[in-house]
Amino acid sequence: MACDKIRYNYVIGDVQGCFEALKALLKEIQFDADQDFIWFAGDLVARGENSIGALRFIKKLVDRGVAATVLGNHDLNLLAVARGIKVLKDKDKIDDVIHALESDDLIDWLRKQPLCLFPNEHTILTHAGIPSIWTAEQAATLAKEVEVVLSDDDFTVMDTFLKEMYGSEPNLWSDELTGNARLRCITNYLTRMRLTDTEGRLEFSFKDSLDESMPEGFQPWFEFDSKATKTHQIVFGHWAALQGKTINECIQNVDGGAVWGHQLIAYRLEDKKSFAVDNPAM
């Protein structure tokens, strides 16, 4: 009698339209859609060779119930461009999505994806991480506030926020924040964060490796004592320069920088093992 195959959960880092790398990675981990589950860390599109192919494929996996994704900053940018709120830039390489026959359906699906997921009771997934000042439960609750606006049946509700989404202020969380300023701050923490200060204040200019000089008073968000890691492991993408670094037993990066000529990474939750493939399109 054949033994039952173990069901595995994999978190895959920023695909960014690198469809060939995604297919190669799924082959590398021997992904079995009848058994396994994929959790995508956001930034499904942009700057890779085939954003439309990657988005169509990932949507099919999610619709089939064998994958889930959080939204990243490039996914939100796609929403803003599709709604005519931001100008389409050549470097983003999302024109194939904008001009696809099923573009409206893809955008409607994308806007209904969450900013925060719990792959299991001990793990929380967001695109950029969780600031040290938030618990895991607080992060999920705040993420829901943005999700409700993005997925509203009335597109003008989403559009109103998207018009106010861009900006680096307020750069420090306060429970007293309201309106679009509150939503913008939540979104920036969950999709753009790299450095903070001891109070959780955001700094947006730094995108380099941990060896580079950082603005005075700021450190990587994961260098501070975290409320969330007292209950959960945090898995995140977004920071390509980390190239899938294990920060500590409670914090794992999965962005291998595939779109920059490096690797696409899958992190297996059951045994905390990482798998990686080079980007064949580079």
pLDDT digits (tens, 9 = 90+) for 41-99: 999 999 999 999 999 999 999 999 999 999 999 999 999 999 999 999 989 999 999 99
| Residues in CB range of 75: below 8 A, 6 or more apart | 42, 43, 44, 45, 110, 113
For tokens 């859609």, what's the residue? 33
The model's pTM is 0.96
Task: Print the domain residue range for 38.
Answer: 9-278
Would 21 be classed as within a structural domain?
yes
Helix (H, G, I), strand (E, B) or coil at 59: helix
| Total Cβ atoms within 10 A of residue 137 | 14
Query: HSE-up of 143 (CA within 13 Å, CB side)?
Result: 28
Number of domains in the chain: 1
Calculate mean pLDDT across residues 174-188: 98
Would 218 be classed as within a structural domain?
yes
For tokens 């060896």, what's the residue? 211
Would 112 be classed as within a structural domain?
yes
Would 154 be classed as within a structural domain?
yes
pLDDT value at position 2?
44
b (16+ CB within 10 A) / e for 27-38: eebebeeeebbb
The answer to whether 203 touches 218, Cβ cutoff 8 Å, is: yes
Q: What share of the chain is helix, strand, coil (3-state, %, to 5)?
A: 35, 15, 45
Would 115 be classed as within a structural domain?
yes
CATH classification of the domain holding 239? 3.60.21.10
Would 157 be classed as within a structural domain?
yes
CA distances from 129 to 73, 104, 108, 112 (A): 12, 29, 25, 20
Phi, psi of 113 (to 5 degrees): -85, 150
pLDDT value at position 282?
78
Calculate mean pLDDT across residues 222-228: 97
**How confident is residue 256, by pLDDT bands cut at 50, 70 and 90?**
very high
The answer to whether 117 touches 39, Cβ cutoff 8 Å, is: yes
Among 206, 111, 213, smallest CA distance to 154 is for 111
Would 4 be classed as within a structural domain?
no
Would 76 be classed as within a structural domain?
yes
pLDDT digits (tens, 9 = 90+) for 101-138: 999 999 999 999 999 999 999 999 999 999 999 999 99
| Residues in CB range of 202: below 8 A, 6 or more apart | 168, 171, 172, 188, 189, 192, 193, 195, 196
Strand partners for 10:
38, 268
| Total Cβ atoms within 10 A of residue 126 | 29
Phi, psi of 272 (to 5 degrees): 55, 40
